[in-house]
């Protein structure tokens, strides 16, 4: 045994905690797992499903994913230089949050708001998102604790129970526009993460579910039956989210995963135990 990761997780059904591991009320920043909520303001404009999906994505800069980001940018009348997410590997377009940022630019364009500073908490784009997130968790917007996410936009502090309730509600079509976000994500799971991303793997293993990962070991899932799941790796190790998701969701190929060295040889495993 080389390393151990503590994971807190919860299953919520009909708004109540049905099962939990660790502390289901631990509070964490939702990080990129909040992208399906951040995409809700785009729904009234009836975007193609692939463009709405990429606005929910933490992509891996694969060709199909970058095509969708470029299409959304063009629809916003914007260019790569207008993205305020910073650069990854020397490119703003390749940043794994560029789809979300393209969505924000599109929203500003369609609402007639200035695109400059769209990432800042005082901008109408982020004020709109804050109201939607607050409504989804049943809080006053002023009562939401926030920080700055890795791509420069506000992120929200929620308990795991709150995260799970939100994702359970999404698959039940709540709040307004959720059905379109769910349709886009389930139609294009490969856009949401990538071939090896835990959220894409969960959606492929459990058809009809929506899943979204976030930095620092956060994963949220809404199941087709309306249940919501949220987990947080205590030390932020994203690799542990795969095994934990496998245990909580009953996905055997995730619960125990091989560890490979740079030669491609299997030299160990990462597994989850309750």
What are the residue ranges spanned by the domains of the chain?
7-271
pLDDT at 174: 97
Cβ partners under 8 Å of residue 67, min gap 6: none
pLDDT at 226: 97
pTM of the model: 0.96
pLDDT at 273: 95
pLDDT at 1: 92
Helices (H), the chain: 35-38, 49-55, 63-75, 98-111, 124-137, 160-171, 178-187, 189-192, 198-205, 239-249, 252-255
Fold of the CATH domain 7-271:
Beta-lactamase (3.40.710)
Q: Which residues pair with 20 in a beta bridge?
A: 10
Cα 140 to Cα 130, 135, 136, 184, 195: the distances in Å are: 10, 7, 10, 29, 38
pLDDT at 41: 97
Measured CA to CA, the distance from residue 5 to residue 16 in angstroms comes to: 26
Tens digits of pLDDT across the chain (274 residues):
999 999 999 999 999 999 999 999 999 999 999 999 999 999 999 999 999 999 999 999 999 999 999 999 999 999 999 999 999 989 999 999 999 999 999 999 999 999 999 999 999 999 999 999 999 999 999 999 999 999 999 999 999 999 999 999 999 999 999 999 999 999 999 999 999 999 999 999 999 999 999 999 999 999 999 999 999 999 999 999 999 999 999 999 999 999 999 999 999 999 999 9
pLDDT at 266: 97
pLDDT at 181: 98
Measured CA to CA, the distance from residue 115 to residue 117 in angstroms comes to: 6
pLDDT at 85: 97
CB 110: neighbour CB atoms within 10 A?
15
Nearest to 87 by CA among 101, 67, 107, 77: 101
| Cis geometry, peptide bond prior to residue 175 (ω within 30 degrees of 0) | yes
pLDDT at 11: 98
CA angle 49, 73, 38 (to 5 degrees): 60
pLDDT at 223: 98
pLDDT at 71: 98
């Amino acid at each position: 045994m080389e390393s151990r990761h503590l994971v807190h997780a919860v299953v919520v059904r009909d708004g109540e905690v049905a099962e939990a591991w660790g502390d289901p009320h631990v509070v964490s920043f939702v990080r990129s797992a909040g992208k399906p909520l951040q995409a809700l303001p785009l729904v009234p404009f009836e975007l193609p499903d692939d463009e709405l999906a990429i606005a929910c994505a933490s992509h891996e800069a694969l060709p199909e994913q970058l095509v969708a980001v470029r299409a959304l940018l063009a629809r916003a009348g914007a260019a790569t230089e207008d993205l305020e997410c910073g650069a990854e590997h020397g490119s703003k377009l390749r940043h794994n949050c560029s789809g979300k940022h393209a969505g924000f630019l599109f929203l500003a364009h369609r609402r007639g708001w200035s695109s400059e500073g769209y990432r800042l908490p005082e901008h109408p784009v982020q004020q709109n998102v804050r109201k939607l997130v607050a409504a989804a968790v049943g809080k006053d917007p002023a009562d939401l604790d926030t920080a700055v996410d890795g791509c420069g936009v506000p992120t929200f502090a929620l308990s795991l129970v709150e995260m799970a309730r939100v994702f359970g509600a999404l698959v039940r079509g709540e709040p307004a526009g959720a059905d379109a976000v769910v349709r886009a994500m389930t139609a294009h799971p490969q856009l949401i993460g990538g071939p090896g991303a835990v959220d894409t793997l969960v959606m492929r293993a459990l058809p009809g579910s929506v899943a979204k990962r976030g930095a620092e070991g956060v994963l949220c899932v809404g199941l087709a039956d309306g249940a919501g799941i949220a987990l947080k790796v205590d030390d932020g190790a994203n690799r542990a989210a795969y095994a934990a998701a496998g245990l909580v969701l009953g996905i055997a190929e995730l619960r125990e995963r091989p560890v490979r060295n740079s030669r491609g040889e299997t030299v160990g495993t990462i597994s989850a135990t309750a």
